[in-house]
Structure 1
Amino acid sequence: MQKTDSLRRPAASRATGSETIRRASRMLAWALFGLLLFGINIALAELAQRAGFVTYVFNRTLVWSIAPYLAAFVLLHRSLHLPAMEGNSLAGLAATLPFAALLFVFAGFHIEYSRGAFLLAYFTTLAWIWFGYRHFVRNYVPVFGYADAAALAQLEAMLAMPGAAPAGRTRFQPISSLAEAVNCDGLMLDRNAAADPERTRALAQFKLSHVRIYSVERVGEMLTGRVGLAHIDENFLDDYAAHYFYGYLKRVIDIGTVLCLAPLALPLGLIVAAAIRLESPGPALFRQVRAGLLGKPFTMLKFRSMAVDNSGSAQFAARRDPRVTRVGRFIRKYRLDEIPQLWNVLIGDMSLIGPRPEQIPMVEDFERTIAYYPYRHLVRPGLSGWAQVQQGYVGTHEETVTKLSYDLYYVKHCSFALDLLIALKTMQTILTGYGAR
């Protein structure tokens, strides 16, 4: 058949491995080579101790820091399913979390440590892991081979979605043999293409030579952080089920975080409420019914950012919306209007991270017009979400389709690493006011 003519059985000679395997090996070598830095630091600290410049605690802290250094590279490796365009954030998280855990160990077991040695080890790890990630992952332009033009056309359609963030850099080249495939980071295939014995044998040879084989949809996810809506099938629910138990841990994290934020959120909320009442008549709090977990309605709380409107009609937020007050424009820009939703998180209507809850009339309309829209209700709606930090607010039906592709990526790949990345990007959003309307 036409789709399999260019993917024939490779030659008998076997390659030693694909470019993906070689690049992973180089990253591992980089991590091990970094241990030399710790060895040099420890040797210098030993000399400084003998000279009386530092105490034995300084040297011991450096030895303790080897564990979080190695853990940082493990975390980075476990996060490589996330788009490479998030490299700076991923490297920062991977380096910071293990060292934060080490501080808890020091505090919990009353272990004496040197702050100077701790900071030296942390910044050494951060610089080393950041440079390695940029060299071997972020700045590396991956090459995907493809055996038929239809697969490339499917990917291009997925990349061209209204309102989407730019995709990561990559190159594509046609391949027809094993020798060409092993020089690629992966082989991109149309999973709906008809199979025949010759094609099956060729794919087996590619797999045995460590050539990674990806569907068009998987490549699109790696490049964009979005799910291809045209090719969702029953496997999507299987992927979601793999992360089902994470929801219980996430609920504990939500409650603990809200309780920790309460001493700051309560006085700040009182100041915002007073400013709203002073500027315009009407209540400071705004209540609206939204769709929650499994589509069940709940009452979401916000600080009122608009003049009182009795129309009650559901509509998109517009740029420079004339209904928004001066105080409302400020609190929207820095997300202060969402402080009351911490109560929704505490009682279980929402989570800190998840797809943003939509108004019931809009949900009913989208469920009729956008395929797979109800899948976004498989997880609790969130105070912030993957679509918000990647795309911002949406204003059209077409942009809503793109937003759904981000939301379903989160549903499919929800994890502690992704939640931390969203939390970090949310802080950047709050500081810059990106996406406010």
Structure 2
Amino acid sequence: MLVVVIGPALYQAYMNQLENVNYVWWVTSEGQWHALLGTGVAYTLSITAVNRLSRLPGTRSYLYVVPAIVIFYLALMLMLGVFNLEYSRHQVGLSFLLAVSLCTAYYYIDSRLRRMRFAVVPFGKAPGLCTRPGVDWFTLTGPDLIGIRRIDGVVADLRAELPSEWQSFLADCTIHRIPVYHATHAHEMITGRVLLDHLYANEYGSLIPREDYEVIKRWIDLAVALVLLPLLVPIMLLTALAIRLDSPGPVVFRQPRMGFHCRPFTVYKFRSMYDGMKGAGFTQEGSDPRITRVGRIIRKFRLDELPQLINVLKGDMSLIGPRPESMNLADWYRKDVPFFHYRHVVRPGITGWAQVEQGYAAEVEGMIRKLEYDFFYIKHFSFWLDLLVVIRTIKIVISGSGSR
């Protein structure tokens, strides 16, 4: 054993030096404690969001790392500012850069190495529905998984008359924790649509949105609208001035539309067509002579939708939901499109799942596809699906794609 004898003066000098050394740098100040705890929460929420978003149709996890981290780190800084808490900006910035770089690399490599693989039971409607590209489908020749190295689940038409050996096979899969999916459910997971011709009576009744989230969503709508309106007032004033200088007529366009529980309401939009043009008809793809010069710009970047924040505050609309149709179109679709009125079980939205997945649709065939997206949104009504719609909407607004 080595014994070191230190004199009183030397010992005191040593202790003084220890007090001046920040050998545990993250706990040396209150601001660094706030940064440490805050970034820990923001990082955890970001990873949770990426994992939940990656389960939704058409998502690649690495593409949502940066949006998720930016959203939650901005929320962290907003909360620190609201409560006037000191925090280390250097520490938050370093944590942000590390989270973005490391998580993006990890999820990118994971998405490249891992491709969804499903085994398909060759009976009923399963083989016809399991054809979507981007997924490895293995049609089984017998009731076993011999020769398939890795599988994410087994897809079967559970309403078909399956032979007893195939029923035993599906039971064994469940016992060994291999997921078994009904064919229509697997199709929904991959495409993000609920097929109308597969809406059985019992499933149709199950498309009731979650009432608990419906209440939470309404409060979120109010809070976001109250925050966004003051921030967007300068943009809205400049847009109104440009419309006024570009062509005669009112700045704001008003139109009756079918709303929540099939109740009509008046929607507000910045006018993008020449005064006197009817907005109930279809907007022509390409060059529509009814649209003004300013109208093309505000349509491209969706600035014409900003006055609908007033509709959100009034309770006519939500930020996210099925787009409201004009009364004339709603009556027409009701006659030709099955289950069309069921989309009004939730509040219509400024943006929605169908808008970011399909875009504009007017003809009956396009409306049927749009309705399938709307039904998927209603069936999977959740915060995470709304967050995915917000991220994709921001991308569309920045790029200006899909406008008419």
User: Shorter chain as normaliser: what TM range?
Assistant: 0.7 to 0.9
Q: CA deviation at 1:395?
A: 4.3
Any residues of structure 2 matched to 1:13-32 within 5 Å, and which?
A: none
Tell me whether 1:364 sits opposite 2:331 in the alignment: yes
Tell me whether 1:261 sits opposite 2:257 in the alignment: no
Q: CA deviation at 1:51?
A: 7.5
Aligned residue in 2 for 1:304: 271
Q: Structure 1 unaligned segments of length 5 or more: list them.
A: 1-47, 160-166
Aligned residue in 1 for 2:56: 82
1:365-386 CA distance string (max 9 Å, x none): 2122122222211111111111
1:97-116 CA distance string (max 9 Å, x none): 55445445645665542111
The secondary structure found in structure 2 opposite 1:408 is helix
8 A contact 1:187–1:214 mirrored in 2: yes
Q: How many pairs align?
A: 380
Aligned residue in 2 for 1:127: 101
> Bigger CA drift: 268-277 or 356-365?
268-277
Amino acid at match of 1:204: A
Aligned residue in 2 for 1:238: 206
CA distance in structure 1 between the aligned counterparts of 2:229 and 2:40, rounded to whole angstroms: 36
Give the 3 Å change call, closer, same or farther, for CA 50–212 of structure 1 in structure 2. same
Structure number with greater Rg is 2
1:64-113 CA distance string (max 9 Å, x none): 64444344333333334312534345333443455445445645665542
8 A contact 2:247–2:274 mirrored in 1: yes
Q: CA deviation at 1:319?
A: 2.6
> Bigger CA drift: 245-254 or 231-240?
231-240
**Equivalent of residue 114 in structure 1, options 88, 92, 97:** 88
Under a length normalisation based on structure 1, what TM-score does the superposition of the two structures give?
0.78
CA distance in structure 1 between the aligned counterparts of 2:45 and 2:248, rounded to whole angstroms: 54
Any residues of structure 2 matched to 1:86-165 within 5 Å, and which?
A: 86-100=60-74, 102-103=76-77, 106-107=80-81, 111-137=85-111, 140-148=114-122, 150-156=125-131
> Bigger CA drift: 393-402 or 245-254?
393-402
The secondary structure found in structure 2 opposite 1:405 is helix
Q: CA deviation at 1:302?
A: 0.9
Tell me whether 1:330 sits opposite 2:286 in the alignment: no
Q: CA deviation at 1:271?
A: 2.1
Considering Cα pairs closer than 8 Å and 6+ residues apart, tell me whether 1 or 2 has the greater RCO. 1
Q: CA deviation at 1:357?
A: 0.6
Amino acid at match of 2:234: P
**Equivalent of residue 56 in structure 1, options 11, 28, 31:** 28
**Equivalent of residue 211 in structure 1, options 172, 178, 181:** 178
Aligned residue in 2 for 1:251: 218
> Bigger CA drift: 314-323 or 419-428?
314-323
The secondary structure found in structure 1 opposite 2:266 is strand
Aligned residue in 1 for 2:399: 432
CA distance in structure 2 between the aligned counterparts of 1:203 and 1:276, rounded to whole angstroms: 62
8 A contact 1:93–1:421 mirrored in 2: no
8 A contact 1:185–1:212 mirrored in 2: yes
Identity %: 35
Amino acid at match of 1:131: A
Q: CA deviation at 1:248?
A: 1.0
**What is the root-mean-square deviation of aligned Cα atoms in Å?**
2.9
8 A contact 1:305–1:328 mirrored in 2: yes
The secondary structure found in structure 1 opposite 2:265 is strand
> Bigger CA drift: 348-357 or 415-424?
415-424
1:342-387 CA distance string (max 9 Å, x none): 1111100011111111111111221221222222111111111112
CA distance in structure 1 between the aligned counterparts of 2:71 and 2:306, rounded to whole angstroms: 26
Tell me whether 1:172 sits opposite 2:123 in the alignment: no
Amino acid at match of 2:274: A
Aligned residue in 1 for 2:249: 282
8 A contact 1:76–1:91 mirrored in 2: yes
8 A contact 2:258–2:325 mirrored in 1: yes
Q: CA deviation at 1:322?
A: 1.0
